Amino acid sequence: MSMFAGVEMGGTKVMVAFGTGPEDLSAPVRIPTTTPEETLTNVERLIAGAATGARLLGIGVATFGPARLERTAPDWGTLLPTPKPGWGGAVIGPRLADAFGVPVAFETDVNGAAMGEGRWGAARGLGDHVYVTIGTGVGVGLIVNGAPLHGALHPEAGHIKVRRDPARDPFEGCCPFHGDCLEGLVSGPAIAARVGQPGETLSADDPVWDLIADYLAQAMATLTFVTAPERIVIGGGVGSHPAVLLATQRRLAKELNGYMPHLTSDEAIQAYLVRPALGDRSGVLGAIALAQTLFNSSQTTKAPDAPVSRGTPEEHPHDRRQLDG
Amino acid sequence: MSMFAGVEMGGTKVMVAFGTGPEDLSAPVRIPTTTPEETLTNVERLIAGAATGARLLGIGVATFGPARLERTAPDWGTLLPTPKPGWGGAVIGPRLADAFGVPVAFETDVNGAAMGEGRWGAARGLGDHVYVTIGTGVGVGLIVNGAPLHGALHPEAGHIKVRRDPARDPFEGCCPFHGDCLEGLVSGPAIAARVGQPGETLSADDPVWDLIADYLAQAMATLTFVTAPERIVIGGGVGSHPAVLLATQRRLAKELNGYMPHLTSDEAIQAYLVRPALGDRSGVLGAIALAQTLFNSSQTTKAPDAPVSRGTPEEHPHDRRQLDG
């Protein structure tokens, strides 16, 4: 039996699962995120354990950032300076490639989730879509022409500005960099700071949700105008709140005001801004999707009869440009 | 001698030039944009004339929109409903392909300019960059992983919201759809409506330029956070105004506030937000770059000895998916 390992690295926990898709997936195992050494050793143990009973074809990592995604960069597969103590410079991709000798895909958590929802979930079959998560922070992953958008590093679309009316919302935002950017206004901590209790404890008709929907609709309009996606999948504790999603859809129509010709009806907007279909598994499944894509491209760049790469030193996946396509 | 035709279609004029790059380019010929029939007949005459003395390998069109760019769509190469009288539904790509039997690339004007600046200009060698033009309107073209971003249709990033302080700028914007969106605040008509005279007649230290730079910096920060480009090339009458560019660079640094790790120094920002290098030829050159790319991909998808496509009915470029990569 062949399988891929999916590793979703979060700031507080790492989820690891094995398989080839949603119908063939082991129960995700949760590892607390402590030091890089301890955490990655635990990840390696899990993978090694699973690889004794099945053939491991590749590993996908979907990680918190900032992270170096560009495969040709000397520091590919590492984390960049981050507020999370000890994790700046942590070497993840090369370490797993060395340990297991298989291709390793290395992406942001949100690009991973976007790939997962695109392969098997709410954006299935699309090549241009966006995944947005609103929870402790705001993250945005973008797929363009079927591949994750990296750009110079990776997007940080949680930090775009939206308009705030201080008379309606005197809360000045909690982003340490930008104050009342999107994340500073709609993240879980922003909601808790504004109303004095966690969002989870508020009723569905609390007026704060209307405010959140207003900001989210502005942000969804900006994402729509800038990248014209075929669909936006919006998740996370705040993003999938039923009252928030409905109100955001309604307001998004007003923000666009008929300007995007494919998004002029309520039905079109409802099919455009949707909830994730893979629940809390979009991350690990996305990591597996990325590993599969990398594995497949490594196969097509070889002679048909060549053996599967085992990651010998002269051909580490991160040294081979063509795998990045 | 072999050459490509570059056709830049604007709302008031069409520019046509022939060649293979900036060092091998005929003087662009200007055709007024009248009816589709008259205008396209004039374009065809120019191309036919040039093709008598040289081998025409392909045609690139960079057009005003909205336009159907997706090559697999049944209405590929046409304009969608547009305020420009008579042009909604105009068939451009298939008409030129039929007339000349060569591959035809069909893009937005701004994606074309982005390709031109990426191939030969201010973003040379980059695979992820943005071209912004601020003139009569605001247009944004995006290159991601080396290819134009289309998404569901194409971006309309001129219509993103920015923050306006009514005490400082009481002008409520002139966008018929969104009032004070970016285009409604910074386009040439917005400047003229605000100060009562065309921007060209204002001195370089007129306070309106500071206001414009403020809005542009917000917009450049949004583009940076959402798509993380390696560079933004900003042109057009307003965008390349020297006072505006300098002030926008300065304010962009404040908007980002150190959040993007590669854009923390003044030098980095100055190398990041730059003027076009191809002047008013980025459009026609971009169209030629697009035609070249399409031609090259049509060559690599054939057996090495196959003749050049002459666009016989069974293999019109717009019927062949693989040409769209």
A142/B128 Cβ within 8 A: no
Q: What is the structure's pLDDT at B44?
A: 98
What pLDDT is recorded for position A242?
84
At CB < 8 Å, which residues of chain B contact A?
Answer: 66, 80-81, 128, 140, 142, 144-145, 147, 149-163, 177-178, 218, 221-223, 225-230, 255, 257-262
Which of A225, A252, A323 to mutate to test binding with chain B, by most B CBs within 10 Å of its CB?
Answer: A225
Start-end of CATH 3.30.420.40 domains in chain B: 2-109+280-300, 122-276
First to last CA, chain A: 27
pLDDT at A299: 84
If pLDDT is split at 50, 70 and 90, which confidence band does B325 have? very low
Distance of residue A25 Cα from the nearest chain B Cα, in angstroms: 31
| pLDDT per position as a tens digit, A76-124 | 999 999 888 999 999 999 999 999 999 999 999 999 999 999 999 999 9
Summarize pLDDT for A165-197 with one digit per residue, the tens: 999 999 999 999 999 999 999 999 999 999 999
pLDDT at B242: 83
Q: For chain B, what is the mean pLDDT?
A: 91
| Largest distance between two CA atoms of chain B | 68
Q: What percent of chain A has pLDDT over 70?
A: 92
Confidence (pLDDT) at B63: 97
From B40's Cα to the closest Cα of chain A, the distance in A is: 25
**Which residues of A fall below an 8 Å CB-CB distance to B?**
66, 80-81, 128, 140, 142, 144-145, 147, 149-163, 177-178, 218, 221-223, 225-230, 255, 257-262
The size of the A-B interface in CB pairs under 8 A is: 134
Hey, are the CB atoms on B159 and A218 less than 8 Å from each other? no
Answer whether residue A247 shows pLDDT above 80: yes
Which residues are within 8 A (CB) of A24 and not within 5 positions of it... i.e. 6 or more apart?
Answer: A3
Could you tell me where the beta strands, DSSP code E, fall in A115-222? Answer: 129-134, 138-144, 147-148
| Tens-place pLDDT, residues B67-85 | 999 999 999 999 999 888 9
What contacts A246, CB < 8 A, 6 or more positions away?
none
- Per the CB < 8 A criterion, the answer to whether A59 and A4 are in contact is yes
Mean pLDDT of B82-99: 95
pLDDT at A132 over 80: yes
pTM as predicted:
0.91
pLDDT at residue A304 tops 90: no
Distance from CA of B122 to the nearest CA of A (A): 16
- Which residue from B minimizes the CA distance to A70? B145
Nearest CA in chain A to B177: A257
Measured CA to CA, the distance from residue A143 to residue A150 in angstroms comes to 9
CA distances to A219, A236, B94 from A22, in Å? 30, 19, 42
Chain segment B255-305, per-residue pLDDT in tens: 999 999 899 999 999 999 999 999 989 999 999 999 999 999 988 765 444
Q: Output the pLDDT for position B247.
A: 95
pLDDT band at B311 (very low <50, low <70, confident <90, very high): very low
E-strand stretches of B10-108: 13-21, 24-25, 29-32, 55-63, 104-108
pLDDT band at B174 (very low <50, low <70, confident <90, very high): very high
Chain centroid, CA B138 distance in Å? 10
> What pLDDT is stored for residue A83 in this prediction?
84
Q: What is the pLDDT of residue B306?
A: 40
Q: What is the pLDDT of residue A301?
A: 65
Q: What is the pLDDT of residues A19-65, one digit of tens each?
A: 999 999 999 999 999 999 999 999 999 999 999 989 999 999 999 99
DSSP string, A48-106: HHHHTTSEEEEEEEEE-SSB---TTSTTTTBB-S-SSTTTTT-B-HHHHHHHH-S-EEE
Judged against a pLDDT cut of 70, whether residue A303 lies above it is answered with no
**What's the confidence (pLDDT) of residue A141?**
98
| Domain range A2-109+280-300, its CATH number among 3.40.1440.10, 3.30.230.10, 3.30.420.40, 3.30.2320.50 | 3.30.420.40
Report how far Cα B5 is from the mean position of its chain's Cα atoms.
17
Q: Where are the beta strands (DSSP E) in chain A?
A: 2-9, 13-21, 24-25, 29-32, 55-63, 104-108, 129-134, 138-144, 147-148, 231-235, 273-274
- Measured between beta carbons, the chain B residues lying within 8 angstroms of A150 are 128, 145, 228
Tell me the per-residue pLDDT of A193-233, one tens digit each, with 9 for 90 and over: 999 999 989 999 999 999 999 999 999 999 999 999 999 99
Mean pLDDT of chain A: 91
Which phi and psi (to 5°) does residue A275 adopt?
A: -80, 155
Q: What is the ipTM of this complex?
A: 0.91
Band (pLDDT 50/70/90 cuts) for residue A321 is very low
Give which of B82, B226, B260, B300 to mutate to test A binding, by max A Cβ within 10 Å.
Answer: B226
- Is residue B96 over pLDDT 70? yes
State CA B43 to chain mean position distance.
19
Taking alpha carbons only, the member of A248, A237, A121, A223 closest to residue A190 is: A237
pLDDT over 80 at B320, yes or no: no
pLDDT score recorded for residue A302: 56
Q: Which CATH architecture has domain B122-276?
A: 2-Layer Sandwich (3.30)
Residue among B149, B163, B260 minimizing CB distance to A153? B260
Q: Is pLDDT at B113 greater than 80 in this prediction? A: yes
- State the DSSP string of B173-198: --BTTTBSBHHHHHSHHHHHHHHSS-
Query: A259 to chain B, minimum CA–CA distance in Å?
Result: 7
Q: Give the pLDDT score at B307.
A: 40
